[in-house]
Each structure stands twice: as structure tokens, then as C-alpha cells.
Structure 1
Amino acid sequence: MVEEEKPKGKMRTGFTTGTSATAGAKAAILAIIEQKKIDFVDVTLPKKSQIRIKIENCKFSKNSSTGIVIKDGGDDPDVTHGAEIITEISLTEKPGEIEIDGGEGVGRVTKPGLGLEIGTAAINPTPKKMIKENILEVAKDLLVKNGIRVLISVPKGRELALMTDNPRLGIIGGISILGTSGIVVPYSTASFAAAIRQSIEVTRAMGDDTVVLTTGGRSEDFARKIINLPDHCFVQMGDFSGYTVQVCAKKDIKKAYVAGFIGKLAKMAMGVKQTHVKGSKVDMEFLADLAKKCKVPQEVVDNIKKANTARHVFDIINEKNISGYFDIVCSEAHKQLGKYSDNKFEIEVIMFDFDGKVIGVFPKSNKYLKT
């Protein structure tokens, strides 16, 4: 038997635009407090581990400062690799308040369905939380008498955004400040496929034949709350759903829970085997056709056709209290995953909302209702 080629050596991780902005903010606030240039900071990530980040440049005065970080995408960089992330800090007369906004090169939200208010800067909730928590680590005393304003800019952000899906999503004028874990894991096909295969091999070597396949860290965290299996049974498949279930079939897995959010599961339902955002788009006509199965008014079908994102569809369905829609998406995803795996093992598809509640299941089950 010929061994499949495995990537040579360990690939280097990087850090997100959110971590870059957090590092710049922490360095800038320390520069005000200590009245000296800061060269490195330790950033606390969402799961409370830390990463040391180099500060490319740091300027300060008594009441304002700037921290500049060069974003490092690791061995699998995206278009923002090498971008200059500038974080400006200024003290305000609003004690205890930390305000965060985007400047030049950070996009503004113009369409619904992104989990951000229209008109606001495209700075996702996790980076905002990271920035606030890291500032609080060093500036609690300062905040007794002052507020802090954080302004994030990306000088080349407007150009870089044209190489992303931001314009299509209605994020205009720049890139997004992103990141759920703070770390960029290399997602090249060869390395990620090898990691998936190895994870499933470990599960089998440990004597288990059931896996929980999730699309990322958040869906895995939510899945762990409702599925009681050992750590080695949880496999983050990222965007490689088709490949992952094929490996499961080859390795004699008997059951796989497939858990995720509406965006990835909608793509699986469409028959997309590799669900990366640049490799495929959610087909709103397809999602609208699924809504017809719920016997919804034509107005709802038309609204789904015009939706901006899968999350926007999620909002429309919830607003209209349409029952059964998310189960249908799970059913379609189940059908496609069954094709890729030749129906060689049992699959259960679970959809979470963005707070971790189970909103869709196939095959239909009531066992998750308590969530």
C-alpha cells in the first residue's frame, strides 16, 4: 500500500487582525501609563492563553498614543498577511468607558446578516472583547478618572478588501477586524487534511468508533456541552466536510455527529464538499426553495432570495417564527454527507444558533430540546 504524502514539518501558526489590534491597543495604553516606548506585549487570547506580539512602532504623549503591529498570518497567510494594523489610543472624559471604532481601511457595515449593526465598523465581537479585556489588565487605575477611545486603522485596508468577500457582503471601505480564537491556524489543504485524518486515526486507536465533526472552535465548544464523549472523539474538520466523512468511512467509523452553524451547514446542504468562503457562496435561491417546504408566505421566500448572508436568512426565519426550517437544512446536509460517505455509517446533523442553542437536527430528535 502506498502511504499518502504528509506535510513535512510543523506549519507555523499566525495571529488574527483582532489580535494585532489588541496588541497595538495594549502597547499604546502601556506607553501612556509608563511614558515609554513598548517593544513587545503579551496578549491574552479568548481561551486565556497568551501570545507575545512584537510592536513595530510605538508613539506616545501624556494623553494619547499609537501602537503599530504587522499582521502575521503564519505559514498559510490570507490577504491581510503583512498588513500594518494601527491602533490609536486617546483618553476621554468618560471615566470607565472603553470605546472602540474603526478608522481608515476598516470597513463599515451596510447590510444586515453579519451580526453587527449597520453603520458600525466591521470589528467583530470577539476582537472587541479581547481589546477591552487586555486594556483592563493594565489600565484599571487609569479608568477610574478617564475613559479610553480606541481607533483601529489599516492603511492598505481599502485595497486589501477588494481581494476579500467584504464588498459582496456589504462591508464597504476596508477589511474586517476578525478572529474567534486570536490565532491563525494554517488551513492549506494538505496540512489540514492530514490533521483531520490523524485525528480520526487517533479516535480509532483509542478504541472508539464515534466522532463529533465540527466546523470550528465555537461549534466544538457547543457540541461538547450536549455530547458526552472523550476529547479524542472531537474532530475540527473546518471546511473539509466531504473529505472528512470519506475518511470516516475508510476508518470504519460507526457514527458521526456533524455540528455547526447555518452558514457551513447550508453549504453542505447545497452539496459543497469544501465550504471555505472563497471557494463557494451560499445559494439564496436554494435556501428560499427550502423555505417553501415550510409553506411560508411568498414574501418570506422573496426576502430570503434577497438575503445578504446565511446569517441574514437565520434572522429572517427567526423574525417570522418559521418552524422546521433549520431541520430541513440539516436534512439536506445529511443527504449530501451520506452521498460522500456512501452511507457507510450513521450521521446526525446538528445546527446551533449563535448562542449555542440547538435549533435544527436530522434525524429528528427531541433529546436536545433542553439546550
Structure 2
Amino acid sequence: MNAPSPHLRSGWTTGSCATAAAKAAWTTLCTGHTPDPVTITLPGGKQVAFALADHGLTPNGAWAAVVKDAGDDPDVTHGALIRADVMALPPSSGITFHAGAGVGTVTRPGLPIPPGEPAINPVPRAMIRTALEEVSGPTPDASVTISIANGEELAQRTLNGRLGIVGGLSVLGTTGIVVPFSCSAWIDSIRRGIDVARAMHLPHLAASTGNVSERSVQALFNLPDAALIEMGDFAGGVLKYVRDHPVPRLTIAGGIAKMTKLAQGRLDLHSKRGLTDMDALAKLAKESGADNALAQRISTIPTVAEAFLLTTNAGLNLGDAIARQARNVALDVLNGAPTALDVLVFDRAGQCVGQAMDQGWSLDAPHEGQDRKRR
């Protein structure tokens, strides 16, 4: 994973903000004094301070709120108000966690938190537990409710619904720090999506680079939403996780340009990670039947789309060659994992223009939405 630019500012996870709010509220309840700023301890041991946006008392407890600062990361929750309400519980009750407005509830197996529990992940729970212990000593007895303003609306811009988290956002974070453009949240969503599909014993998953390829592959195989993994540019993230957490069958689906990058050994398909090697694509076209003149022309043009158009007009099947080479790269990453693998290449209209199927399988008229047929 690439290091962030030195000019980009790091920020704080939702879990860190919830921890700061919970500690401030618990301190108010235990001491009558509200710390502002409030200092918390991150999982790595570093102490950081958070300014409070607001705080107050309730009939049964206290509350505090923090505005999330995600730094320069394009985080959907940047600027969201994270609130914690705390109440004291009878001795030996321990700490209980609850989902307030804007925080989701887990409804499917396979996530770090079991169904029925508020979507507050294990690390934020541990951070909150540590923060309360710093105020009142070991084994505090407290009810902690986390809320996120407009969380239910914000959650519609995340993958929570597909993961079975309903009613709002998740309280996330493993280090407490958001690294700009680290894309850690996206990769975590990929992993959780695979975990959920495995827990549901789904026989076939499809990881797609974008909306067109996702809709097309879903229609092609009649897959449920829970079987769809929105991998974006992170083909390597999917393949490495499936290598260690196998699924019965995986289809990698994407557009022509991104699948060409995978075929050339790129596991991060983003344009900023490097351009397509047009000389290598020209060589692949030549292996698919292109003459010297066409191969030379492909090596000098700027886009894969144009190269694909030229080979199609010449009656050549470059799409299958790209898919086969991409599948070989993916199989190397899977490193013998017991997962049947397909690679499909789609054009911008959603038609399958290249396929490399697991042994013994083929596609019949994929652009018409027909299922794969056994040879």
C-alpha cells in the first residue's frame, strides 16, 4: 500500500471520535468536570486530544459529541457529529454498547460483530473500554450509546447495506488514525464482504471493478447482492484475501483497460499506479493474430480502448487473450487456493468481450444474461 503524500493531513477514525466523546461524558458523570479537550489513548499507545463540539447532562447520565476530522482522506463521515451517551449501571454489569440514531445494527453472520449487535467494531469497543477505565479504574459498569448525525443517510453511500448492516453507519477503526488515501476502509469492506459471503455459504462470488461490470456479472450468473464484492481498483486485495479465506468460486469482472492492467501483473488497477504497457499489449495482440503493422500501431496509440477497437475491426479476439492472461496472474496470487476462478472482460455497454473460465465451463451469449453452461 502506498504511503500518503507528505502534503496530506491524517485524520481520526469514527472509533477514535466515539472514544473521545464517551470518555468526556463518562468523566462528567464520574467527576462533575467535563474535559475539553479530552485526551484518549490510541491502540498503538499514542495519546491524542479532541475538542468537544458540545456536551451536557441527561436525566440518567451524561453525553458529549465530537466532530469527525478525517484529514485529507475522502471519508464519507468527514465532518459528521459523533455523540456518546453514557449511564452508570449496577455493579458487575460491565460495559454494554448500544446503537443510537445513525449507527447500524448487524444482521448477517461473518462480520467481527455477531448479528443483533450494534455495528461498533471490536477495536473501537476496546478503545472505549480503555478510556472509561482511565477515568474510573478497572471494570467500569456503564451503558454506552453511540450516535452519528445523519448516519442513516450517509450509510447509503457505503457498502453497509450489502454487508447486512442496517439503520446507519459502522463505528470503525483499527489504529484510530485515518491515513489519507490509504484506501484501508475500502479494503476492509472487501474483506468483510467476503467474510459475510463465506458465513452465508454462498457458492459463487463476483468481484467487479465498477458498476457496469457488476451489474453485468450479476445478471449473467443471477447472483444475490451478498455475492457481489465491489473491489474497485483493488484486485490484489480481493485475491490475497481469498487466497487465505477460500471461496468455492470467484469471478473477477472488469472493464477492458483495468483487466488489461491485471493481465500485465498490476494488482492495483488505479491509473495513478501506472499506465498500461502498450508494447506488451501489442505483443499480446500479435499472439492473437495481429500482423506486424497492426501490432506496431497498437504500440503507439494512447488507450487500450482504441487498441481493442482496432483488433475487433480486424476480426481478432483480443478480449479472450486479455482475460486468459489476467486469469494466469490471478491464479499466481491465489497460489493454489481451492477456488475456481473466472475472469470476464466487459465493454462500456456491459457486453462480455473476453472470458477465461475455470476448466470445463464456458459462456453462452453472456450479453443476453444467460447463465454459464457446462461444456
Instruction: Give the TM interval when normalised to the shorter protein.
Output: 0.5 to 0.7
Contact kept, 8 Å, 1:36 with 1:60, in 2: the verdict is no
1:92 aligns with 2:89: yes
Q: Cα 1:279–1:184, aligned 2, differ >3 Å: closer, same or farther? A: farther
Contact kept, 8 Å, 1:38 with 1:58, in 2: the verdict is no
Q: Cα 1:141–1:330, aligned 2, differ >3 Å: closer, same or farther? A: closer
List aligned pairs for 1:194-205, cutoff 5 A: none
Contact kept, 8 Å, 2:27 with 2:135, in 1: the verdict is yes
Q: In structure 1, what is the Cα distance between the partners aligned to 2:95 and 2:9?
A: 33
Q: In structure 2, what is the Cα distance between the partners aligned to 1:324 and 1:186?
A: 27
1:167 aligns with 2:167: no
Contact kept, 8 Å, 1:32 with 1:62, in 2: the verdict is no
Choose from 71, 74, 78 the match for 2:71. 74
- Residue identity matched to 2:165: I
Q: In structure 2, what is the Cα distance between the partners aligned to 1:179 and 1:349?
A: 31
1:19, distance to aligned residue in structure 2 (A): 0.8
Q: In structure 1, what is the Cα distance between the partners aligned to 2:132 and 2:214?
A: 37
Contact kept, 8 Å, 1:349 with 1:362, in 2: the verdict is yes
- Residue identity matched to 1:170: G
Choose from 60, 64, 75 the match for 2:61. 64
1:165, distance to aligned residue in structure 2 (A): 2.0
List aligned pairs for 1:38-57, cutoff 5 A: 38-57=35-54
- Residue identity matched to 1:129: A
Please list the CA deviations of residues 313-362 of structure 1 after superposition, one character each: whole Å capped at 9, or x if unmatched.
xxxxxxxxxx99829879989x985633579xxx99999xxxxxxxxx61
1:24 aligns with 2:18: no
Contact kept, 8 Å, 1:46 with 1:182, in 2: the verdict is yes
List aligned pairs for 1:174-323, cutoff 5 A: 174-187=168-181, 263=194, 305-306=223-224, 308=226
1:33 aligns with 2:30: yes
Please list the CA deviations of residues 49-105 of structure 1 after superposition, one character each: whole Å capped at 9, or x if unmatched.
222111111224796110111111111232211111110010011336011111111
Partner of 1:150: 144
Partner of 1:362: 335
Q: In structure 2, what is the Cα distance between the partners aligned to 1:282 and 1:134?
A: 44
Q: In structure 1, what is the Cα distance between the partners aligned to 2:162 and 2:99?
A: 20
Where do 5+ consecutive residues of structure 2 fail to align?
198-204, 230-242, 254-259, 267-279, 281-324, 338-375
Please list the CA deviations of residues 131-151 of structure 1 after superposition, one character each: whole Å capped at 9, or x if unmatched.
1122112221683xxx21001
List aligned pairs for 1:100-119, cutoff 5 A: 100-119=97-116
Q: In structure 2, what is the Cα distance between the partners aligned to 1:69 and 1:81?
A: 11
Contact kept, 8 Å, 1:28 with 1:88, in 2: the verdict is yes
1:33, distance to aligned residue in structure 2 (A): 2.2
TM-score normalised over the length of structure 2: 0.53
Choose from 339, 356, 364 the match for 2:264. 339
Identity over the aligned pairs, expressed in percent? 33
Q: Cα 1:272–1:161, aligned 2, differ >3 Å: closer, same or farther? A: closer
Q: In structure 1, what is the Cα distance between the partners aligned to 2:22 and 2:147?
A: 12
Contact kept, 8 Å, 1:282 with 1:310, in 2: the verdict is no
- Residue identity matched to 2:95: I
Contact kept, 8 Å, 1:43 with 1:51, in 2: the verdict is yes
Q: In structure 2, what is the Cα distance between the partners aligned to 1:131 and 1:159?
A: 25
Please list the CA deviations of residues 168-213 of structure 1 after superposition, one character each: whole Å capped at 9, or x if unmatched.
33222111111121111111xxxx6xxxxxxxxxxxxxxxxxxxxx
Q: Cα 1:9–1:130, aligned 2, differ >3 Å: closer, same or farther? A: closer
Q: Cα 1:105–1:7, aligned 2, differ >3 Å: closer, same or farther? A: closer
Contact kept, 8 Å, 2:39 with 2:50, in 1: the verdict is yes
TM-score normalised over the length of structure 1: 0.53
3-state SS of 1:340 partner: coil
Where do 5+ consecutive residues of structure 1 fail to align?
1-5, 193-214, 218-237, 240-259, 290-301, 312-322, 352-360, 365-371
3-state SS of 1:87 partner: strand
1:122 aligns with 2:119: yes
Computed over aligned residues only, the root mean square deviation of the Cα atoms, in angstroms, reads 4.6
Deviates more, 1:171-180 or 1:158-167: 158-167
Q: In structure 2, what is the Cα distance between the partners aligned to 1:279 and 1:55?
A: 43
Q: In structure 2, what is the Cα distance between the partners aligned to 1:272 and 1:336?
A: 14
Q: In structure 1, what is the Cα distance between the partners aligned to 2:121 and 2:15?
A: 8
Partner of 1:326: 246
Q: Cα 1:156–1:270, aligned 2, differ >3 Å: closer, same or farther? A: closer
- Residue identity matched to 1:362: N
Structure of larger gyration radius: 2
- Residue identity matched to 2:36: D
